[in-house]
Structure 1
Amino acid sequence: MSSDPRRPPTPAGERGCGTSVAVDGDRARSVSALLDRNARLFGDHVALTHAGATYSWRDLHGLVQKTLADLRARGVAPGERLAVPLSASIESVALLWAAAALGATIVALDPSAPREIWEARATAAQATWLVVPQTGTDPRLARLGGVAPSAKAAPAPLTVVFTSGSGGRPKAVPLWSKQYLASAEATVAALALVATDRWLAVMPMFHVGGLAILFRALVSGGGVELHERFVPRLVADRLRGGEISFCSLVPTMLARLLPLLEPSGADQMSRLLLGGAPVPSQLLRVAEQLGIGVYRAYGMTETASMIALARPGEEGAEPLPGVELRIEGTKQSGEILVRGPMVSPAATDREGWLHTGDVGFLDRAGRLHVRGRLKNIVITGGENVSPEEVERVLEEHEQIAEVGVAGVPDPEWGELLVALVVRRARSRALGSDAELTESVRSFCRRRLERYKVPKRVFTVAALPRTATGKIDRSALTALARSLAQAAG
């Protein structure tokens, strides 16, 4: 055990003392024990802040108890699934921890989506309740048509989270508290998080990137500042204030944030954890020039957030404690396979390996290098091309702010490689789209094999993206096909 007085002791076997959150089943004991511990050891420390309201760990413990009692009184039973529009609010956090204590499952919904999508997702996940958290009062509950589980049913997952759907239709992924806590414990160890750290949470709470922040605070005893949405200027001010230790972002957020930041000493600026999509190298260079420490995370919904971490200045990502990685393919590259306690058992093969669908390799030091997605491969003229590889090259072009590459049907090539680019504001006066196209192709010829050079280039106002900032590959391909057909 660390002698650092800020670092919370390991909770293994600890029951807590004082008023405890009631526990139903083995699944909830770890979450509830951590809440007990934090209320006892860090009772007056800030656990959550949101919209001017501040809750200590003792306050949050009491709110979880109240929420749990309300769920029971209104007939919610262990094992039932609660479809919840999860906003970045204290009430949503209390509902999550109360569900853990009860043994119920949270089906995480996008609060900004229309009710029709809520109902469709709730039906797909077999939810029995629709629960809408409300500020300062009890949540609204409505009974749905799902079938309640039998008493002999296997332990229910803590959440069902829908993937961002970057490659098509979102997929429902069940995750148990065991996976979340394993991920949080590994992350706390890798980043040396302590009880005095505070995390700025601007990621959506209905995705695993937002939920993981809550579990890291639960494990470390630290605090979380909840923001309902990403407002670049507000985030920039908070990062400069000296109170925030870490902030999780996707590359799109970082690109919007960097112009608002000024060079600062490393001791004054928060550290940034970047994930959710490939990171353009030019963003990392600008961040480095500003003195910002950027950690790049690799992970996915099925692994309850990140499983490998690249520290500032490092090329490859080091696996987190407890993570096993394997490459299925050639020595140069192949599909990335992951195994470990943070991987959802619903997503693995018989030997416990998750086939990620990502392509990469391990270097001699065992660090992971991610190259792209298997399913995104474009076959043009009999050659396989990774759109992400071409995108990484084009992100270095001085006139391009954003780029997405896709394949469109072609009678000669099978698939034609097309680049959709968002031009930098200052570059629009530097030439026509035709001139930009030739510039892009010439730029690629000097850096890529000939068959990887896009045959056509189109300028667009913005790239289609998912709620987590990833390029929406399905929508990108549809847009590329539409533009190619219109151009003839």
Structure 2
Amino acid sequence: MDLGTLFQFAVERHPQFEALVQGDKRLTYEELNQEVDRAASGLQALGIKRRDRVVLVLKNRMEMVILYWAIQKIGAVFTPINFRLTSEEIEYCVNDAQAKAVIYEPVSESAVLQAVGGVQTLKIAVLGARGADVSYEDLLTKGSGEVKLEAGNGDDYCLMLYTSGTTGKPKGVPRTHRNEYSAAVAHIIQNHYSVQESTIGVMPLYHTMGMRSLLSIAFLNGKLVMTPDYDARLVLEHLDKEKITCVYLVPTIFHDLVYHSDFAKYNLSALKKLGYAGAAMTKALTEEIIAKLQPVVFVNHYGSSEVYTFSICNYLDRKPGCAGKPGFHQRLRVVVADPEGGSGPDDVLPPGVPGEIIVDLRSQEAFQGYWNRPDATGKALREGWYFTGDMGAIDEDGDLYVLGRVDDMIISGGENIHPLEVEDVIAKHPKVAEVAVVGLPDVRWGEIVTAFVVPKDSRLTQEELDEYCKQCSFLSNFKRPRKYVLVESIPKSPVGKILRRMLRDGQYEAGLTKKESVS
């Protein structure tokens, strides 16, 4: 079974159900399928065929959804990348993927044209972007409108995602039809979705979370509302107007929504199923979401582009921040953490002891290795397990808690300290909007715990924060920050992950003053 066929099944099942919305344009499944077939036929007329990689450098817009299903129908490989990438980064991805075509829009036009100047690849422009071989509008008229279905199978690649590359060149993560189908089914079951759900397309389609929303909603004949330009107020308006029933977002967006000054003006009573992933969520934010949105389903989904589901937790009211137990396609372990790759799957740690999280590669959601990167594949895939690079610990109930990255662990005076447990404390301070904790070099201690804080109140002081941490019975004294830095914002990846390396390297904008260390 392939994804293009599954989409066709959905179209035939409920052709008149609303499928895709953007602004004033609304498409039923039947109308969407007509657009998809025109695009697919056009791509075939331009020579795009089974297994060809097509790189897309687009925002979350209707055309990207249409092109996704068109590429699935012809058996090619949908290869989306961040539209904010530099020309050098785009050039790397295009060359690495050996892309047969690149599709872009005005916002990415300059970087794409610089990137592919010396590359033999077809250029397709959306929204009137310049420099292309063919426009999107012309593409829709190139073919006959009838798609010549490519005979594929579940083990063919259908998608390639590129990891963020915060510590080096991005890695291509090729995924098969079987991987994506299994991940979509897991997403539906683990989030308790049902037929005709509706969601908002705010998570980027170059990320696994965006893909999950796209596929799961289509398989359920649901409605996907696209938002090319993210704005918290606009998202709130869409949630209200479109009576959105479920969302799958990063914590940053949940934070923007529930703390928005006009939150109370919107009727979000239809929104009953919430899921988050991509980054850790503080206890303070978890409690705020539960209080304001009162979800029927609230799931912390922990996974990756490579494997999708590691674990899920749907009892966040009892255990805020918990990553729960393995997904139904999965099992996991916590083993001795060794950044050099010296530990193995049998080096299992007892409950309560932090280590590296590893997951079983026999899951049908799991990829088979990185694209053109045997070195990275050999390091991450060992003895039938995927070594995630994440630190975690399992409690006495068998529940997993994610503590950050292996290389984010702070070692101060020989003690291991994990940023999230300190962040959870500081985030509860009423004058704190956001916080990120890292270890900064120190001659005496090796590293000192340092809190970078975005103030909610300009009167917030270093002394006030330090006294607050001293008074917290949940934070051991050796874990208390010895330095506080007030900043304008916390640097994050496009999907909301805190970029601690940038904070360690001094790549941030200070707020009122840079605070000195405290005793």
Asked if TM exceeds 0.5, the reply is: yes
Secondary structure of the residue that 1:158 maps to in structure 2?
Answer: strand
What is aligned with 2:330?
323
- Supply the distance in 1 between the matched residues of 2:225 and 2:182 (Cα, whole angstroms): 22
The residue that corresponds to 2:126 in the other structure is 134
Cα separation, 1, equivalents of 2:172 and 2:468: 39
Structure-1 separation of matches of 2:495 and 2:13: 35
Deviates more, 1:283-292 or 1:246-255: 283-292
How far is 1:79 from its partner? 2.0
CA drift of 1:465 comes to 0.8
Q: Does 1:308 align with 2:338?
A: no
CA contact (8 A) 1:131 1:139 kept: no
Whole-Å Cα distance in 2 between the matches of residues 400 and 229 of structure 1? 27
Counterpart of 1:335 in structure 2 is 356
Superposed displacement of residue 82, structure 1: 1.6
Partners of 1:395 and 1:485 in 2: CA distance: 19
Q: CA deviation at 1:43?
A: 0.5
Alignment match, 1:189: 189
One-letter code aligned to 2:493? T
1:249 alignment partner AA: L
Q: Deviations for 1:256-308, whole angstroms, at most 9, x for unmatched residues?
A: 11133339999544432222111111112222222432432211211236742
Structure 1 residues 478 and 189: alpha-carbon distance in aligned structure 2, compared to 1, 3 A threshold: same
Equivalent-residue separation in structure 1 for 2:271 and 2:90 (angstroms): 39
In the alignment, structure 1 segments of 5+ residues that lack a partner are 1-28, 141-153
8 Å Cα contact 2:19/2:223 also seen in 1? yes
Match of 1:450 among 477, 498, 502: 477
Identity percentage of aligned residues? 26
Give the residue type in structure 2 aligned to 1:160. Answer: M
Residues in 2 aligned to 1:467 and 1:401: alpha-carbon distance in whole angstroms: 19
Asked if the contact 2:436–2:451 (Cα under 8 Å) also holds between the matched residues in 1, the reply is: yes
Q: Aligned equivalents of 2:381 and 2:291: distance in 1?
A: 44
Once the two structures are TM-superposed, the CA of residue 459 in structure 1 deviates from its matched residue by 0.8
For residues 228 and 326 of structure 1, the distance between their equivalents in structure 2, rounded to whole angstroms, comes to: 39
Name the counterpart of 2:284: 282
Distance 1:166 1:421, change over 3 A: farther
Return the offset for 1:468.
0.7
Q: Is the 8 A contact 2:356 2:406 kept in 1?
A: yes
User: Quick one: which amino acid aligns to residue 338 of structure 1?
Assistant: V
Residue identity in the other structure for 1:393: V
Between 242-251 and 313-322, the greater mean CA deviation after superposition: 313-322
CA distance in 2 between partners of 1:486 and 1:242 (Å): 46
Say which SS state the counterpart of residue 287 (structure 1) adopts.
helix
Task: Name the TM-score, length of structure 2 as normaliser.
Answer: 0.77
Equivalence map 1:61-100=2 (5 Å) = 61-100=33-72
Q: For each residue in 1:145-172, what CA deviation from the matched residue of structure 2 results, as whole angstroms up to 9, or x when unmatched?
A: xxxxxxxxx9652222122345665433
* CA contact 1:42–1:221 (8 Å) conserved in 2: yes
Paired residues, number: 442
Report the Cα distance in structure 2 between the residues aligned to 1:235 and 1:306, rounded to whole angstroms: 28
> Are 1:429 and 2:459 an aligned pair?
yes
Instruction: Evaluate the alpha carbon distance shift between residue 338 and residue 251 of structure 1 in structure 2; reply closer, same or farther with a 3 A threshold.
Output: same
The code of the aligned residue for 1:476 comes to L
| Unaligned 5+ runs, structure 2 | 105-124, 128-135, 141-153, 336-347, 370-376
**Partners in 1 of 2:384 and 2:367 — Cα distance?**
9
Comparing 326-335 and 258-267, the one that deviates more:
258-267
How big is each residue's C-alpha offset from its partner over 1:93-147, in whole Å with a ceiling of 9 and x where there is no partner? 122222223222222112233444322321233323222362572459xxxxxxx
How much is the aligned-residue C-alpha RMSD, in angstroms? 3.0
Aligned to 1:468: 495
Distance 1:457 1:443 in 2: 16
Aligned residue in 1 for 2:227: 227
Offset at residue 197 of structure 1 (A): 0.9
Indicate whether 1:398 and 2:398 are aligned: no
2:404 corresponding residue in structure 1 = 372
State the match for 2:23 in structure 1. 51
2:333 counterpart letter in structure 1? R
Pairwise mapping of residues 210-249 of structure 1 onto structure 2 (< 5 A)?
Answer: 210-241=210-241, 243-249=243-249
Distance 2:161 2:387 in 1: 18
- For 1:438, the equivalent position in structure 2 comes to 466
